[in-house]
Amino acid sequence: MKFIETRGNDGVHPGEVTFSEAILSPIASFGGLYIPKELPSLGEEFLTKHLNSSYKVLAKDLLTVLGIDIEPLVIDEALSLYDKFDDPSNPVPVVKVRDDLYVSELYHGPTRAFKDMALQPFGVVLSSIAQKRGDEYLILAATSGDTGPAALDTFKNRANVRVVCLYPDGGTSDVQRLQMVTEDASNLKVIGIHGDFDDAQSALKKLLGSATFKATLKTKNISLSAANSVNFGRIIFQIIYHIHSYLELVRQNAILMGEKIYLDVPSGNFGNALGGYYATKMGLPVEKIIIASNENNVLTRLINTGHYDLRNDKVIPTTSPAMDILISSNVERILFDFFGAVRTKELMQKLENDRFYALSDDETMKLQGMFSADYCNGSEGKGYIKEAYDSGYLMDPHTATCFKAYDCCATKPLKTIVYSTAEWTKFSPTIANALTGEKDANDIDALQSISATAKLPIPEMIKGLFTKPITQDTVIDKEDIEVEILKFLS
């Protein structure tokens, strides 16, 4: 599989790159992204062949069909990390919640959110490419709460990779912060910033673009990379579980092979939904992909009106913070697929310059042929959490947004897969509030209260956080980040 660029080629970047190259340098010409030059068609034959395959066997065959330049032994090692999930024989359980509605649980990995699905194997792949090239990489990550813990867990003690993770001090939940500041490995550094997520993110972008910072790293023989969600090394692992979830419905006799379904995805940066789109493009029988958002509803407006409009927008803090995003980076890959490189470049430059672009009516209709969208506010979300709980299913606030979108967008009598992206333990104060009305609980109190109410144990890796020693206690002003990183590297 070769990769080309969403905004065309500038004559400086290579016009086509391999999978490893797209992983190591994820930014293409004109600030664009890499996308597969072509995708194989899987057809019903592939699905039938894997009807009774384990997750890992399905994944291995899919990656083989895609033809990436990673050695089979490395792929095996990467996929073996799914053995650390709650049930190694089925890392992604699919649970029937209502008559036509099934939930695919993507959070059974070590950090209890869906970021593990891609970052766990990605850590092995990136480290192996770095070792093969004899290069040392510094991975910078900025997190609002889920990416940081997942990135630290996957890169911990891996060769040729060091990680610096920036988080807004006071801007994450207790569980998320503890998952980071209790990480103890010599190749990991966690830095709290006085400021919010945008401050952490913009500090990171500044460093990634800084020639002097890169030159300083060069003198230490270190290259800079990023593990953010536009990296295709993450996207590729997010195609697999959509196919797995479809096959689960067939196995559970919910659908017949070939029957169309809806995919209902809680979306921020659009990586999860993009994986579903690529699976559909390769032949997965999908009627439509439903995009669920919170009050930061830029994707709902894009799909329903054709306008990407941030002119009056500021990020609104919500109870589903992993989706508090205005610039949804992977939408660019959809624009490319539908409208080509010239138009994508034009639209993305408009967005950067004017914070606005408008698709034509034809273009909007094309988009609506594949996607539907709706958004769910915090109090509606709590209503869905309570309603599902009363009928026996506990879910987190991100998953809850999908229930609103389902009510609005699943218009045909087809089965729907809702993707659940976080365990209840990661956003417990909001859930406790939804279930019992208690307000402003801290994480440990909310965890205990939900555990008692729902008669569910708190998983060891969450409970253990509250007694683990804190090893990462750096909290600084954003002006001091560069100095702090260089101190860590020397």
Ligand X SMILES: *Cc1c(COP(=O)(O)O)cnc(C)c1O
Q: Which stretch binds ligand X (CB under 6 A): 111-119, 124-132, 338-346, 360-368?
A: 111-119
Helix and strand numbers, DSSP H then E, in the chain: 21, 15
- Other CB atoms within a 10 A radius of the CB of residue 304 amount to 17
Q: Which of 123, 195, 266, 276 binds ligand X (CB under 6 A)?
A: 266
- Residue 97: phi and psi, rounded to 5, are -115, -35
Q: Which residues contact 144 (CB under 8 A, 6 or more apart)?
A: 167, 168, 171, 172, 197, 321, 322, 324
Question: Cβ of residue 61: shortest distance to ligand X, in angstroms?
Answer: 24
Binding of ligand X by 422 (CB under 6 A):
yes
| CA–CA distance, 388 with 437 (Å, rounded to integer) | 16
Binding of ligand X by 105 (CB under 6 A):
no
Site mask, ligand X, residues 166-185, x = CB under 6 A? --------------------
What's the Cα-to-Cα distance from 241 to each of 73, 92, 433, rounded to whole Å? 21, 7, 31
| CA–CA distance, 141 with 203 (Å, rounded to integer) | 10
Q: Which of 127, 176, 231, 269 binds ligand X (CB under 6 A)?
A: 269
Site mask, ligand X, residues 200-239, x = CB under 6 A? -----------------------------x----------
| CA–CA distance, 44 with 333 (Å, rounded to integer) | 26
CA proximity to 48, closest of 279, 343, 250: 250
| CA–CA distance, 368 with 306 (Å, rounded to integer) | 9
Residue pair 281/39 in contact by the 8 Å Cβ criterion: yes
Binding of ligand X by 146 (CB under 6 A):
yes
Binding of ligand X by 322 (CB under 6 A):
yes
- Other CB atoms within a 10 A radius of the CB of residue 185 amount to 15
Q: Which of 372, 421, 425, 433 binds ligand X (CB under 6 A)?
A: 421
Question: Cβ of residue 419: shortest distance to ligand X, in angstroms?
Answer: 8
Question: Cβ of residue 436: shortest distance to ligand X, in angstroms?
Answer: 22
Q: What is the dihedral of CA 231, 35, 410, 308, to 10 degrees?
A: 80
Q: Which stretch binds ligand X (CB under 6 A): 31-39, 269-277, 303-311, 455-463?
A: 269-277
3-class DSSP state for residue 415?
coil
Binding of ligand X by 398 (CB under 6 A):
yes
User: What are 466's two structure tokens?
Assistant: 């509250």
Binding of ligand X by 19 (CB under 6 A):
no
Question: Cβ of residue 399: shortest distance to ligand X, in angstroms?
Answer: 8
Q: Which residues contact 82 (CB under 8 A, 6 or more apart)?
A: 55, 56, 59, 88, 91, 109, 120, 121
Question: Cβ of residue 131: shortest distance to ligand X, in angstroms?
Answer: 28
CA proximity to 46, closest of 235, 286, 246: 246
Q: Which stretch binds ligand X (CB under 6 A): 122-130, 132-140, 262-270, 435-443?
A: 262-270
Question: Cβ of residue 274: shortest distance to ligand X, in angstroms?
Answer: 7
Q: Which of 7, 115, 158, 382 binds ligand X (CB under 6 A)?
A: 115
Q: Which of 262, 270, 277, 278 binds ligand X (CB under 6 A)?
A: 270
Binding of ligand X by 268 (CB under 6 A):
yes
| CA–CA distance, 298 with 304 (Å, rounded to integer) | 10
Q: Which is nearer to ligand X, 319 or 472 (CB)?
A: 319
Partners of 347 in the β-ladder: none
- Other CB atoms within a 10 A radius of the CB of residue 69 amount to 11
Question: Cβ of residue 218: shortest distance to ligand X, in angstroms?
Answer: 32
Q: Which is nearer to ligand X, 255 or 298 (CB)?
A: 298
Binding of ligand X by 298 (CB under 6 A):
no
Binding of ligand X by 264 (CB under 6 A):
no
Q: Which is nearer to ligand X, 201 or 272 (CB)?
A: 272
Binding of ligand X by 104 (CB under 6 A):
no
What DSSP state is assigned to residue 46?
A: H
Q: Which of 267, 293, 319, 449 binds ligand X (CB under 6 A)?
A: 267
Q: Judged by CB under 6 A, how many residues of this single chain contact ligand X? A: 17
Residue pair 159/130 in contact by the 8 Å Cβ criterion: yes
What's the Cα-to-Cα distance from 116 to each of 29, 79, 175, rounded to whole Å? 29, 12, 16
Q: Which is nearer to ligand X, 160 or 416 (CB)?
A: 416
Binding of ligand X by 295 (CB under 6 A):
no
Question: Cβ of residue 236: shortest distance to ligand X, in angstroms?
Answer: 13
CA proximity to 179, closest of 190, 195, 193: 190
Interface contacts to ligand X, rule CB under 6 A: 113-115, 146, 229, 266-272, 322-323, 398, 421-422
